[in-house]
Chains A and B, each alone.
Chain A
Amino acid sequence: MKTLESVLERYISAVKSLDKQAFLALYDPSVRYFDMTAPFELRGTDVFGGRVDKWFAHMEGSEPDVIPSNLESSSSGELAYMTMLIDYADVDAEGNRRAMMNRLTWVLAPRGDDWKIIHEHTSVPLNEETMEPEFEL
């Protein structure tokens, strides 16, 4: 059985190389996806794939990087989860480094000898006073 850590390693590799097929292969086809941006949810890799196209197109040529921290994970035979903070960084056309931190929760189920993400929840918190989103810890 592949490890949860290998899922994260493949996720980072897929984003850094903007490899849509490798990225979508991490997800169960029926994934329930709560993304940082609207709508409230996306269901299925068919729908989610369109969003990945736009995301990766936006990062073309920008040297994307993905840096997880505060990682916690656990698995039973039937279900696993991973939680983390995750920094998405890249370099804009003027050469300036951009970065945004997210909170990320994955719920994974065994499929053959691998884990597939059946649910993802990605968000940033709203400032308690202003209710404006915060993008840095």
Chain B
Amino acid sequence: MNTPQSVIDRYTSAVMNLDREAMLSLFAEDLKMFDTVTPWKFENRNEWAVYIDEWFSAGATYAKVEASDVHIRTFADCAHVSMNMRYAEHGGGGMTNRITWLLVPDGEEWKILHEHASVPLHRTEMTPQFQP
């Protein structure tokens, strides 16, 4: 059985390499996703795949993708991860997301059954805050 940490490592690698298949292989078919940008939700992996195609073909390339403040709880039939994920683009742009994962075993691998990614809003101006 791989570990939730290995899912994080493969996620950062997939984004760095803009590798659609590697990215999709991390997710369960019945994925439910709340992503940082609209739409409000994706109801399965096929819907998410369409967005990944758009994301990875949008032109951004990444100098560094790394997780920090990682909390992992692993049990026999489920695991939970919460973390910050920094996406540093070539040229200096990028953002940090809060990410929550719920993972379930699928054979010898953990698959992401639920992802919730977001940035917080400024408390009075309600503008997005892209870095901690």
What number of residue pairs across chains A and B have CB atoms under 8 A from each other?
114
The answer to whether B121 touches A38 (Cβ under 8 A) is yes
The answer to whether B38 touches A123 (Cβ under 8 A) is no
The answer to whether A133 touches B114 (Cβ under 8 A) is no
Please name all residues of chain A whose beta carbon is closer than 8 Å to the beta carbon of B75 when the two chains form the complex.
76, 78-79
Query: Number of A residues whose C-beta is below 8 Å from B?
Result: 35
Which of A79, A81, A101, A131 is the one whose CB lies under 8 Å from B128? A131
Which of A11-19, A29-37, A90-98 touches B? A29-37
The answer to whether B126 touches A133 (Cβ under 8 A) is yes
Please name all residues of chain A whose beta carbon is closer than 8 Å to the beta carbon of B69 when the two chains form the complex.
41
The answer to whether B37 touches A81 (Cβ under 8 A) is no
Flag whether A113 is at the interface (Cβ < 8 A).
no
B66 CB, nearest partner CB in chain A, Å: 15
Please name all residues of chain A whose beta carbon is closer than 8 Å to the beta carbon of B100 when the two chains form the complex.
34, 105, 107, 119, 121
B86 CB, nearest partner CB in chain A, Å: 11
Which of A37, A121, A133 is the one whose CB lies under 8 Å from B116? A121
The answer to whether A40 touches B78 (Cβ under 8 A) is no
Asked, given contacts A39-B120, A76-B77, A79-B80, whether A133 binds B98 with beta carbons under 8 Å apart, the answer is: no
Please name all residues of chain B whose beta carbon is closer than 8 Å to the beta carbon of A85 when the two chains form the complex.
40-41
Flag whether A127 is at the interface (Cβ < 8 A).
yes
How far apart sit A74 and B71, CA to CA, in the bound complex (Å)?
A: 20
Asked, given contacts A34-B100, A78-B78, A81-B114, whether A40 binds B120 with beta carbons under 8 Å apart, the answer is: yes
Asked, given contacts A34-B82, A34-B100, A37-B120, whether A125 binds B34 with beta carbons under 8 Å apart, the answer is: yes
Please name all residues of chain A whose beta carbon is closer than 8 Å to the beta carbon of B39 when the two chains form the complex.
125
Please name all residues of chain B whose beta carbon is closer than 8 Å to the beta carbon of A134 when the two chains form the complex.
38, 40
Q: Give B118's nearest chain A residue, CB to CB.
A: A123
Q: Which of B84-114 contact A (CB under 8 A)?
A: 84, 96, 98, 100, 102, 114
Q: Give A32's nearest chain B residue, CB to CB.
A: B82
Please name all residues of chain A whose beta carbon is closer than 8 Å to the beta carbon of B37 when the two chains form the complex.
125-128, 131
Q: Give B30's nearest chain A residue, CB to CB.
A: A72
Query: Can you give 16 contacting A-B residue pairs, CB < 8 Å?
Result: A37-B122, A40-B84, A40-B120, A41-B98, A76-B76, A83-B32, A83-B114, A103-B41, A105-B116, A107-B100, A121-B98, A123-B98, A123-B119, A124-B121, A126-B119, A134-B40
